[in-house]
Structure formats: structure tokens, C-alpha cells
Amino acid sequence: MRERKGVFVTVGTTSFDKLVAAVDSEPVKAALFRRGFSHLQIQIGRGTYIPSKVSGEDGELEVDYFTFSPTIADHLTAASLVISHAGSGSIFETLRLGKPLVVVVNEDLMDNHQAELAEELADRKHLFFARGPHLLAQTIESMDLESLVPYTPGNPKNIADQIDAFFGFSSPGEGSDQKGGEGEGASVSKISKLFSFFFR
């Protein structure tokens, strides 16, 4: 009796029929089954290609699908492998959960800057990367899940601190805000007001 290991496929808010069709194809389903996965859940988003549901009773990969869900996070958490389009939201949400991830680039997109991000994260061994749905089967066959390196989430506080520093605001916990020119006479501030049209 096979251990329950699920694969979750997500296209985010996009339509990515070629990926759904590739996942629904025999080579990919067979590859996933050979790699030890028991069931496949596909989030098809705005796509029009409908995959075939499979009950999995005959010793094959179970397949189910839906369009959208308010609880994508739950599906990601339950999965043992995630296959995703190259949107940064989907990528980082999955990496934050520490899930093995295969990113598939949509070659039909005009300005494909998304591939840059997936490529960089793949170079850093945080995920596996397929340049198009036609390469998904071989990516799944050859991927070594042990080689993945966990992604350490970034911290927006560093940028916030730099912005604070620009304005001279102290970061929370530090002393009072930077003040240069303390003890400026009243006359100087009056002149400043007069020329406030020009002065910042």
C-alpha cells in the first residue's frame, strides 16, 4: 500500500493550459507515479483545458482538479511536491513552506522576465526549473530532491531601515530622531518660512 504523497499543481491567477495539459499527459503522470507520488491535485485557474479525473483504484496516480480556492495555502502545506507557474507569489509562498518545488515557465508570455527569477533560484538550488511544459517529464524523472537547499526568507525591515535613514527617522528602539541645527534662532526659521516656496 503506497504512502500518501501528494503533488499540487498551481497556475496562480493565470491561465496556463499547456502546463495543465502536460501534467495531465501520460509521460508526466507516469513519471510522478514512478517517483512515488500517490495523488495529483491541479489548480487550473483561468484555464480552459480540463484534465481527466482519475480515481486511482487501478494502482495508478489519482488525479483531481479545481479552478480557484481561498485556501491554496492548505493545498501547498499538504503537498509533498509542488509544480508551479513562474509567478513570484506562488514561488515564494511555496518556498516559505519549505516544499520541494518545480517551476515551469510559460513560454507563450510576451515579456518573460519571470524565467529570470526561477533560473536564479534554481541556480541557488532552491527549486527545480523547466523551461517549458514539454520539459516537465524529464525534469521530474531526473530531479534529486535531496539536493534542494532550503530558502531563507528575506526581511523587508532592511529596506524600511534604509528608508528611515534617508529621512533621518530613527529606527524603533533607537534614540530620538536626528536633528542637525538645533538651537536655530527664531529669525532663521522665519526666513526659512519666507522662502519655504523654494526650500524643502
Partner 1 sequence: MEPDFLTIIALIVSLLVIRVTYVLYWTGRPFKRAPKTSLRTMIVLGSGGHTAEMLSIVNVLQKDKYAPRSYVAALTDNMSLQKAQVYEESLQNHENNVDKKRGAQFMQIYRSREVGQSYITSIGTTIVAIIHAMWIVLKLRPQVILCNGPGTCIPLCACAYLLKLIGWRWCTTIYIESIARVKKLSLSGFLLYKLPLADQFFVQWPLLQQKFPRSQYAGRVM
Return residues touching partner 1 (CB under 8 A): 87-89, 92, 96, 113-114, 116-117, 119-120, 153-170, 172, 177-181, 197-198, 200
Residue count of the chain, please give it. Answer: 200
Indicate the residue among 57 and 123 with the shorter CB distance to partner 1: 123
The nearest distance, CB 80 to partner 1, in angstroms, is 23
Contact between residue 11 and residue 19 where contact means Cβ atoms under 8 Å apart? yes
Q: Which of 127, 90, 98, 81 is nearest to 16 (CA)?
A: 90
Provide, rounded to whole angstroms, the least separation between the CB of residue 1 and partner 1. 39
Q: Which is nearer to partner 1, 55 or 155 (CB)?
A: 155
- Rounded to a whole number of angstroms, the minimum distance from the CB of residue 160 to partner 1 is 4
Of 57 and 197, nearer to partner 1 (C-beta) is 197
What's the number of CA atoms in the CB half-sphere (13 Å) around residue 132? 5
| Closer of 78 and 160 to partner 1 (Cβ) | 160
**Among 68, 60, 3, CA closest to 42:** 68
Report how far residue 141's alpha carbon sits from residue 176's, in angstroms, rounded to the nearest whole number. 59
Neighbours of 88 (CB within 10 A): 13
Give the residue with the Cβ less far from partner 1, 59 or 173.
173
To the nearest whole angstrom, how small is the minimum distance from the Cβ of residue 122 to partner 1?
11
Q: How far is the CB of 31 from partner 1 (least distance, A)?
A: 28
Letter string b/e over residues 45-62, b meaning 16 or more CB atoms within 10 A of that residue's CB: bebebebeebebeeeebb
Q: What amino acid is encoded at 27 in this protein?
A: P
Of 25 and 112, CB closest to partner 1:
112
We find the least distance from the C-beta atom of residue 88 to partner 1, in angstroms, to be 4
What CA dihedral angle connects 120, 121, 124 and 128, to 10 degrees? -110
